[in-house]
Structure 1
Amino acid sequence: MREEKKITGMGAIPHDGGVAFRVWAPHAERVSVIGSFNGWDGGKHPLQAGENGYWYADVAEAQVGDEYKFLLTTEKGELKRIDPYAREVTSSVGNAIVHDPGFDWQGDDFQFAPWNELVIYELHVGTFNDQDDDNKPGEFASISARLSHLKKLGVNAIQIMPVGEFAGDRSWGYNPAHIFSVEIAYGGPLAFKQFVKRSHQEGIGVILDVVYNHLGPSDLDLWQFDGWCENDRGGIYFYNDERAITPWGETRPDYGRGEVRQYLLDNALMWLTEYHVDGIRFDCTQFIRTVNGVGTQELPEGWSLLQWINSQVAEKFPGRITIAEDLQHNSWLTRDVGAGGAGFGSQWDAMFVHPIRLAVTTSKDEQRSLAAVRYAICYRYNDDAFDRVIYSESHDEVANGKARVPQEISPNDPKGWYARKRSTLAAAMVFTAPGIPMLFQGQEFLEGEWFRDTVPLDWDQKDEFHGIVRLYRDLIRLRLNRDGFTRGLCGQFTQVYHLNEERKVIAFHRWDKGGPEDDVVVVANFFHGPQDGYVIGFPAAGAWKLRFNSDWQGYNDDFHSHPSTDVVAEPGECDGFPFHAVLSIGPYSVLIFSQ
């Protein structure tokens, strides 16, 4: 068969006349495909060697749904390998399945929100909404059953922890065995496509977490894939020297090898093309761009890989977002590739979460640092306020020795007054500070303890703390300017103009273009007692309506409904403004004003 007639693509490519198979195995002596279509007989369908270690065969007898593997004859003997590009597997240690790429996307004309109007909800498929059978993890369909809750809450993007096939049925997902295949315990690839389409119908985008800093390390058929390796390490897909070493095993992909770079790019583009996801979050990019994660030993080919993937996403899928989890002071991650940056749309911001969590979990008021809170509110990586994702809880922040914020505040009473007041104080900072706000599953109904992949959310708390759910809903509504008078919360600009360390009050001004229905003033009291007759500056004269009071009793029966009211800003310089007003604010509370 002439090369130009060969079907393009990698792995198993179904077509009208059968299935074409292509695999990269440069050190194999012979390769054949074995499967349910040939009785697993290695002599029936040999692949022909091509250039650069690629092998190809077109098998008329194969069809969608068939199980298969590649049989490689090597110096180390015969090796049976799952297809690295398998779109579906029976399990992490089973067989590949010839996957039907067809799906009815008709009507899926979803438009992802502008980045300054995103509200992200991070969740873990296996624990977000468990099945009735306690021995089974949650599935994509069980998330769909809760989409009405998320839509009513107001979030417009779900960020899903990794779904690449992993060892066993329960995991955080950061141990991918097969990055092109969707975890079968979650429902597999078809269920994921159905879920994305369903989410889009509800007006909710889907961002997927991917893991390219390491693979496996268990159930990893890529390991010494075609028998070759150096230093008894991973072979063709991995570094074979000290660059292989990561905190999760010696399985860092070889970012300098063209075929491996293509493999990772193909994976990123697959999620956007075949699954219609709206964004990709890259796990631990510091272990892609450096060897040790702290920058003392750079990996230039890792950096250029990130640039390449982001450039391709921006070119082919304008409007979709890529998010880095780097958690370093690194503004280059979110700079344009043309300017030497990595080209990410945004990045998780450790400069926000750590000061905010510390401010609300510190037990003594006098030990809270409002200067640190101001730093968290104002921190920027570049000139765009939305090149950071801000949060008080994420999967990393509520595990690995840390717990949910209410639990950290009051370990012995995580549902009590202090836990409720100060955790919602943190939430109010998330939704009023500049950045892309993110929640972690169950945060809106005070989920306690810490995150584990074996413990599902306690959905009974949604009813028990329905008022707290409403508080989050009201904050999100204001953040997204749903009523037309808080446009400033979607804007680029912030000024922290009042900071009282003694009385623990901070106030800041948010605006987009400025003026009525745009200017927003946020006042936060980080003190256990109310502040009455409190004078602060305002950016304009006249009436300022109170749009939100986190102390409202409707949010919880034992909130005080402190008599905070609309205020009138009168002439008289204060806090650098020519106008001032007198207000009252409850303990551990936030007020939001606009005109």
Structure 2
Amino acid sequence: MVQAQSSRPGVGATLYDDADGNGVTFRTWAPNADSVSVAGSFNSFNPNTHFLTGEGDGWWSIDVPYVGQGARYKFVIRNNGQELWRRDPWARRLTNSVGDPLVYDKDAYQFQADGFTMPPWNELVIYEMHIGTYGALPGDPVPAGFQDCIDNLDHLMELGVNCVELMPINEFTGDINWGYNLAYPWSVESSYGGPDQLKAFVDACHARGIAVILDVLYNHWGPSDLDLWQYDGWSQNGYGGIFFYNDDLKADTPWGPRPDFGRGEVRTYIHDNAMLWLDEFRLDGLRFDATKYIRGVPEAGVEIPEGWSLMQWINESIDATQPWKITIAEDWGDNEWMSRSVGEGGAGFESQWDGVFLHPVRALASIVDDQDRSMFELRDSVLKSFNGQATQRVVFTESHDEAANQPRLPEVIWPANADSWEAKKRSTLAASVVFTSPGIPMIFQGQEFFEDGTWTDAAPMDWGRKDSFNGIFQLYCDLISLRRNRGGASRGLTGNNTNFHHLNDSDKIGAWHRYDQGGAGDDVVVVTNWKSEYRGSYRIGFPSGGTWYCVFNSNATGYGPAFTGGGPIQVEADAVAWDGMGFSAQLDIPPYTALIFSQERPDDGGGGGGDQNGPILVDGERDELYGDPLVIQDTSTGFGDNDLGLVNYANGSELDSFSARVESGVLYLFFAGNLESNYNKLDIFIDSIPDAGQNRLRDDNPDVKFGGLNRMGGPGDGDEPGLRFDEGFAPDFWIDFTGGGEFGVSYDTFINWSPLLTGGGDEGGWGFAGPGGSGAGLAIFAGNGIIASINNSNTAGVSGGDGIDDGSGVVTGIELAIPLLVLGNTDGNGISVAAFVNGSNHDYLSNQVIGPLGGSPNLGEPRVVDFEEIPGLQHVVVVEAEIPPCPGDFNGDGVVNGADFGSLLAAWGPCKRCEPDLNRDGVVNGADVGLLLAVWGQCP
């Protein structure tokens, strides 16, 4: 028999390796035990060989040499004739909730993302995640694990969130579970992968600039698989013994037994557990579940002062050591003292979930009759704050509770018809309120691609909905971009100030002004319409005069078929006092729509405005990404056109340059030149699948009309070729831009496309190019992932017309971003592009053709053109973009070192498309430092 008290620190099973040897210190707390031994794989689970020695105050310990990581063990406690085999309350790892504890080396995992910096709380956007279902793909078994979720983290980067809140990951009963019936507070759920995999998940999040918050349970534990229950054999009144209250009043909660917050050892057990996640696991914050049941017994109206002081102690410890980390209370008591400082007598939380926002906003979205929606409740929900601080509340319309205990919001809006226009419009309107109200916004997993039904822990995320509802996904991306002010036009959404300045309860219009310091790029005005009726020429107050751009329109057509456009691209606020403001503007508001206005355009195009079809905005610089043009054509416009010289029309179309690249699974195309407004066309054909496609375009494909230019098919006989391309060029995909206008009064760009292999017909869209010099953008057919942008800011070389109207009568830049999957291409290899300008009468092809074609004025009708007969290739092959051989080696000396770190610091802050911005989020910050340190000394 071995028996000796340990002089080494640690509770549970702690590895040691010092001058006196190596092994494990076992220590436990069992104040009512007669004796304690440890049995494990190192002694054939013999309970009579290794007895712990009493240290006083109920503590027992022993050093067992030569025991290493992974050894299995249990404590054997003897009390009044009982022999109780107990799992370690401090176990850091278990085989499962009814299995054995495992000795764990807490220092084995080596973190990589050392440079991570917690985002400012006013810029946080939280994504609530359940590990077991987020990481699984349809058809996969659940639960998924931490590694599966790591594989899906790039989705969160694409979405734009910068904080993940994990539902509980402590060892719980079984494998499929919400996590709220935890059995072992210090152990990480085995079915998720255990503690090292959790650390790897945190590391992977930090490498992507994403903070991680953990949902912790201190209001109750269990009730199943709970060896803490009557741990050392003692109890009173049949309750839980040393770790729990043992009186009728405080012993139970609705979910399981309540820990004894008044017993010193239990207080330390909970306090140290909270610090464990922040210290060892490097988590960035904690969300405390059901704090109302820590601070009291709500059913009896009784307070538990020792529960309050325990929360204060934890929050004080965090503030003293890691004040940038956040603690969030789920209290539901509308209690501002929860988020007051401990010095003021508060509980010390930095924020809390806000039911005053959640329930009214969900009701506003789900009420059937428009007249029953209350704009007063909207106002109160938007303006609510704790202690006058916006970040002291978390705002959302869905969490795990709402998603699981009732259907998700689209299903609540219209049961059994969640795909309805009403469900899409009103759920996204509610989301717009979440991201524009003061507070820290949060969404629950799947909300971003319109998950419906009821969430369950037994089924994986339906990732297919990301494609099916890609437009709604883009809507969330745009809202998050604006909320984080990533484009520099919406700082007010991160500010502390809100003025709900317009309330019309009859017409169901509500508007509010968000700002930090105020001014262009800061002031944001949000306008919402909660009725199914279109509101035209509606006057809203603005804080300053001049042009206000609509940087987000929740009805933009790029967000899906239910979103029909309408609303302003921009408004002019004049000196008409309104809504208590000195300026105002008249604007159109589509039904069930939110509009966001700023006096600056977002640098990253973080919103869709008016009739624009989506989020991206040409910025006049994007062509830098393409490198040198692949071809610069003869720009002669000496071809016939019956509209040349007319007022408000530009003289002649021309294709001046073309550049392209393939990168990260996307084909990017850039065209420069003039496309005048008398219905000239830029036709683009893409051969994306080598050795396949339709080399001969024929009119017997009745579904593809080529934007009305049917002559691009055969001349009438299905056996005869139509437009013939170079040998070996077999187009699979066609897209067309047509400039059109009526005597300069309006100018539209009509866009058609079709995948030629399918024979599935044209899709068409259109959008206004914007007034001269201003530029505008369209993201078309978002459901297919196609983004297109047009620009008319450069009218150099255009002759004729009458000045500025020329600018609204010509397109001078077109950009395309087409996912390779849309093109049927998997790796970017073998893609070729042909493009040409097609005349307004559809009776010839101009000389503006990609390739070496000379200055021929025209080539005749499309149905008789044969590029095979023209010397040289009239198409180009697009190659994969060159990847820098060593990201982080900014000076090219072959090693990442201090010199490169200096370059990064010199670029600190907003830094659009600069090399030190390693994660390409438009700003150089701590996230880039982390990525740099990850390759320190290397040149991968």
Please give the TM-score of this superposition, normalised by the length of structure 1: 0.98
Correspondent of 1:493 among 493, 497, 518: 497
Correspondent of 2:457 among 449, 453, 456: 453
Higher alpha-carbon deviation: 367-376 or 97-106: 97-106
Deviation at 1:580, TM superposition (A): 1.0
Correspondent of 2:154 among 142, 148, 151: 148
Correspondent of 1:526 among 527, 530, 533: 530
Query: Take 2:552 and 2:192, find their aligned partners in 1: how far apart are those partners?
Result: 39
Aligned residue for 1:306, secondary structure, equals helix
What is the aligned partner in structure 2 of residue 120 from structure 1?
A: 126
Query: Take 1:288 and 1:135, find their aligned partners in 2: how far apart are those partners?
Result: 36
Establish whether residue 31 from structure 1 lines up as the match of residue 32 from structure 2. no
Establish whether residue 414 from structure 1 lines up as the match of residue 421 from structure 2. no
Query: Take 2:117 and 2:373, find their aligned partners in 1: how far apart are those partners?
Result: 42
Tell me which amino acid in the other structure corresponds to 1:559. Answer: F
Aligned residue for 1:270, secondary structure, equals helix
1:175-217 alpha-carbon deviations (Å, 9 max, x no partner): 0001111111111111111111011111111100011111000
Query: Take 1:131 and 1:545, find their aligned partners in 2: how far apart are those partners?
Result: 40
Establish whether residue 208 from structure 1 lines up as the match of residue 214 from structure 2. yes
Structure 2 gaps of 5+ residues are 600-940
Query: Take 1:525 and 1:343, find their aligned partners in 2: how far apart are those partners?
Result: 38
Tell me which amino acid in the other structure corresponds to 2:588. Answer: S
Query: Take 2:277 and 2:540, find their aligned partners in 1: how far apart are those partners?
Result: 50
What is the aligned partner in structure 2 of residue 11 from structure 1?
A: 12
Percent identity over the alignment?
A: 50
What is the aligned partner in structure 1 of residue 609 from structure 2?
A: none
Q: 1:273 to 1:556 in 2, by over 3 A?
A: same
What is the aligned partner in structure 2 of residue 483 from structure 1?
A: 487
The answer to whether the 8 A contact 1:565-1:583 is kept is: no
Q: Which has the higher Rg, Structure 1 or Structure 2?
A: 2
Query: Take 2:457 and 2:267, find their aligned partners in 1: how far apart are those partners?
Result: 31
Tell me which amino acid in the other structure corresponds to 2:182. Answer: P
Establish whether residue 269 from structure 1 lines up as the match of residue 275 from structure 2. yes
The answer to whether the 8 A contact 1:7-1:20 is kept is: yes
Query: Take 1:374 and 1:435, find their aligned partners in 2: how far apart are those partners?
Result: 14
Query: Take 1:558 and 1:96, find their aligned partners in 2: how far apart are those partners?
Result: 54
What is the aligned partner in structure 1 of residue 752 from structure 2?
A: none
Correspondent of 2:540 among 536, 543, 546: 536
The answer to whether the 8 A contact 1:22-1:57 is kept is: yes
Aligned residue for 1:439, secondary structure, equals strand
Tell me which amino acid in the other structure corresponds to 1:237. Answer: F
The answer to whether the 8 A contact 1:32-1:46 is kept is: yes
The answer to whether the 8 A contact 2:135-2:460 is kept is: yes
Q: 1:448 to 1:231 in 2, by over 3 A?
A: same
Deviation at 1:557, TM superposition (A): 2.0
The answer to whether the 8 A contact 2:5-2:54 is kept is: no
Correspondent of 1:503 among 480, 503, 507: 507
Establish whether residue 245 from structure 1 lines up as the match of residue 249 from structure 2. no
Aligned residue for 2:297, secondary structure, equals coil
Tell me which amino acid in the other structure corresponds to 1:360. Answer: A
What is the aligned partner in structure 1 of residue 386 from structure 2?
A: 381
What is the aligned partner in structure 2 of residue 424 from structure 1?
A: 428
What is the aligned partner in structure 1 of residue 445 from structure 2?
A: 441
Deviation at 1:76, TM superposition (A): 4.8
What is the aligned partner in structure 1 of residue 261 from structure 2?
A: 255
Aligned residue for 2:57, secondary structure, equals helix
Write out aligned runs for 1:60-139 (5 A): 60-102=65-107, 103-130=109-136, 134-139=140-145
Tell me which amino acid in the other structure corresponds to 2:10. Answer: G
Tell me which amino acid in the other structure corresponds to 1:381. Answer: F
Query: Take 1:65 and 1:178, find their aligned partners in 2: how far apart are those partners?
Result: 18
What is the aligned partner in structure 1 of residue 520 from structure 2?
A: 516
Higher relative contact order (CA 8 A, sep 6+): 1
Query: Take 1:407 and 1:132, find their aligned partners in 2: how far apart are those partners?
Result: 21
Tell me which amino acid in the other structure corresponds to 1:572. Answer: V
Establish whether residue 556 from structure 1 lines up as the match of residue 556 from structure 2. no
The answer to whether the 8 A contact 1:76-1:227 is kept is: no
Deviation at 1:451, TM superposition (A): 1.5
Query: Take 1:87 and 1:159, find their aligned partners in 2: how far apart are those partners?
Result: 21
Correspondent of 1:180 among 181, 186, 197: 186
Higher helix fraction (1 or 2)? 1
Establish whether residue 371 from structure 1 lines up as the match of residue 376 from structure 2. yes
1:480-539 alpha-carbon deviations (Å, 9 max, x no partner): 111111100000000000000111100100000011111100000001011101011111
Query: Take 1:166 and 1:108, find their aligned partners in 2: how far apart are those partners?
Result: 30
What is the aligned partner in structure 2 of residue 399 from structure 1?
A: 404
The answer to whether the 8 A contact 2:142-2:460 is kept is: no
Deviation at 1:558, TM superposition (A): 3.0
Query: Take 1:116 and 1:74, find their aligned partners in 2: how far apart are those partners?
Result: 54
The answer to whether the 8 A contact 2:138-2:463 is kept is: no
Higher alpha-carbon deviation: 569-578 or 332-341: 569-578
The answer to whether the 8 A contact 1:131-1:137 is kept is: no
Establish whether residue 231 from structure 1 lines up as the match of residue 234 from structure 2. no
What is the aligned partner in structure 2 of residue 291 from structure 1?
A: 297
1:249-270 alpha-carbon deviations (Å, 9 max, x no partner): 3x10000000000000111111
Tell me which amino acid in the other structure corresponds to 2:115. Answer: D
Query: Take 1:131 and 1:22, find their aligned partners in 2: how far apart are those partners?
Result: 42
Aligned residue for 2:67, secondary structure, equals coil
The answer to whether the 8 A contact 1:131-1:142 is kept is: no
Aligned residue for 1:497, secondary structure, equals strand
What is the aligned partner in structure 2 of residue 282 from structure 1?
A: 288
Deviation at 1:64, TM superposition (A): 1.0
Query: Take 2:450 and 2:139, find their aligned partners in 1: how far apart are those partners?
Result: 24
Tell me which amino acid in the other structure corresponds to 1:209. Answer: D
Deviation at 1:4, TM superposition (A): 11
1:113-151 alpha-carbon deviations (Å, 9 max, x no partner): 010000000011111132676443111111111111101
Query: Take 1:91 and 1:533, find their aligned partners in 2: how far apart are those partners?
Result: 64
Q: 1:311 to 1:34 in 2, by over 3 A?
A: same
Aligned residue for 2:400, secondary structure, equals coil
Q: 1:106 to 1:551 in 2, by over 3 A?
A: closer
Query: What is the CA RMSD across the aligned residues, in angstroms?
Result: 1.5
Query: Take 2:357 and 2:287, find their aligned partners in 1: how far apart are those partners?
Result: 18
Correspondent of 2:354 among 349, 352, 355: 349
Aligned residue for 2:401, secondary structure, equals coil
Query: Take 2:562 and 2:130, find their aligned partners in 1: how far apart are those partners?
Result: 32
The answer to whether the 8 A contact 1:393-1:439 is kept is: yes
Structure 1 gaps of 5+ residues are none
The answer to whether the 8 A contact 1:120-1:156 is kept is: yes
Query: Take 1:487 and 1:222, find their aligned partners in 2: how far apart are those partners?
Result: 49
Write out aligned runs for 1:45-56 (5 A): 45-56=50-61
Write out aligned runs for 1:570-581 (5 A): 570-581=574-585
Tell me which amino acid in the other structure corresponds to 2:251. Answer: A
Aligned residue for 2:404, secondary structure, equals coil
Q: 1:131 to 1:59 in 2, by over 3 A?
A: farther
Deviation at 1:75, TM superposition (A): 1.2
Deviation at 1:91, TM superposition (A): 0.9
Write out aligned runs for 1:326-341 (5 A): 326-341=331-346
The number of residue pairs the alignment matches comes to 592
Higher alpha-carbon deviation: 556-565 or 198-207: 556-565
Query: Take 2:388 and 2:138, find their aligned partners in 1: how far apart are those partners?
Result: 48
Establish whether residue 390 from structure 1 lines up as the match of residue 395 from structure 2. yes
Please give the TM-score of this superposition, normalised by the length of structure 2: 0.62
Tell me which amino acid in the other structure corresponds to 1:570. Answer: D
Tell me which amino acid in the other structure corresponds to 1:359. Answer: L
